[in-house]
């Protein structure tokens, strides 16, 4: 079953102010965790709630995890309550990176059977069209209808290890080709990729304006990489964020995809360092 994926600026403009609609501003910058809140304060889509991706869409990193492990299920359930999101809520998420960050929120919420879509083109598209921008921080209105959270589409490190023997799925890496090839690693301590993975950079899903390419074009492009058995693929990246963009693009293109190795290269490279330490 295909997931709901994108919404355009016209559609979002019509939804603003309606009951049971929640908009989440997911702007995030890996090298400056305070910048997202700062950019939000400079201007955001009216009614949008700022989301701290590092703290609200991820648990603290440990020596055994990647940079952005999934939050505890109970903790994330409480977070949904605080944002005012329940099973009847329509959610729109956006960023300023072509959906690269917002896709993580989309993927996490989609697993809870929440009606959630990513704003195509994000905040830059909203600005290009001269739409209203607010400077007033939005305080979320909490709900009392709690969702029982689970993450059935998350693939564990152990499953990746076992796959070397069972060969149950193909890994697809969403990072840039230079990082995949170990040529320009500036984030993780070890360069390279998980053995056997193929590379489809998430940026290849976007056009020159950082909007998604037409669904028909994406379908053709992705078919060059994947067979019809998309269940046999697991998507990863550096820390389980931009991998979700490939999952989003595939569903938009009419190809079912869900599974993400959240630990991704940042966890896998730690495994390599642990092995060296032993």
CA distance 174 to 101: 13
- How many residues make up the chain in this entry? 278
Spot the catalytic one: 26, 211, 237, 244: 237
CA distance 236 to 218: 19
Contact 159, 262 (CB under 8 A): no
CA distance 111 to 109: 5
Contacts of 129 (CB under 8 A, 6+ apart): 9
Contacts of 266 (CB under 8 A, 6+ apart): 66, 67, 68, 187, 188, 238, 239
Contact 47, 23 (CB under 8 A): yes
Q: Could you tell me the two tokens for 131?
A: 């739409």
Contact 102, 119 (CB under 8 A): yes
237 is catalytic: yes
Coil, helix or strand at residue 130? coil
Contact 175, 238 (CB under 8 A): yes
Alpha helices in the chain (DSSP H): 9-15, 35-42, 53-56, 73-83, 102-110, 122-128, 157-166, 177-180, 215-223, 243-252, 264-277
Q: Could you tell me the two tokens for 269?
A: 């490279």
Give me the active site residues, please.
237
């Amino acid at each position: 079953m295909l997931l709901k994926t994108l919404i355009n600026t016209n559609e979002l403009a019509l939804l603003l102010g309606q009951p049971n609609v929640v908009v989440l501003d997911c702007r995030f910058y890996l090298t400056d965790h305070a910048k997202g809140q700062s950019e939000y304060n400079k201007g955001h889509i009216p009614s949008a709630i700022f989301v701290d991706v590092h703290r609200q869409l991820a648990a603290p990193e440990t020596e055994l995890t990647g940079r952005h492990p999934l939050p505890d299920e109970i903790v994330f359930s409480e977070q949904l309550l605080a944002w005012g999101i329940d099973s009847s809520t329509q959610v729109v998420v956006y960023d300023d990176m072509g959906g690269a960050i917002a896709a993580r929120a989309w993927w996490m919420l989609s697993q809870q059977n929440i009606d959630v879509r990513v704003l195509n083109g994000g905040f830059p598209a909203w600005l290009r069209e001269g739409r209203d921008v607010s400077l007033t921080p939005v305080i979320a209105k909490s709900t009392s209808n709690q969702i029982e959270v689970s993450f059935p589409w998350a693939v564990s490190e152990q499953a990746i290890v076992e796959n070397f023997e069972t060969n149950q799925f193909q890994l697809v890496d969403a990072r840039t080709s230079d990082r995949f090839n170990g040529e320009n690693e500036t984030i993780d301590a070890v360069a390279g990729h998980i053995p056997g993975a193929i590379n489809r950079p998430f940026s290849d899903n976007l056009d020159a304006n950082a909007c998604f390419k037409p669904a028909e074009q994406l379908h053709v492009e992705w078919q060059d990489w994947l067979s019809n058995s998309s269940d046999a693929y697991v998507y990863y990246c550096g820390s389980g964020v931009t991998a979700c963009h490939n999952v989003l693009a595939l569903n938009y293109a009419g190809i079912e995809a869900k599974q993400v190795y959240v630990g991704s290269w940042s966890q896998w490279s730690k495994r390599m360092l642990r092995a060296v330490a032993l």
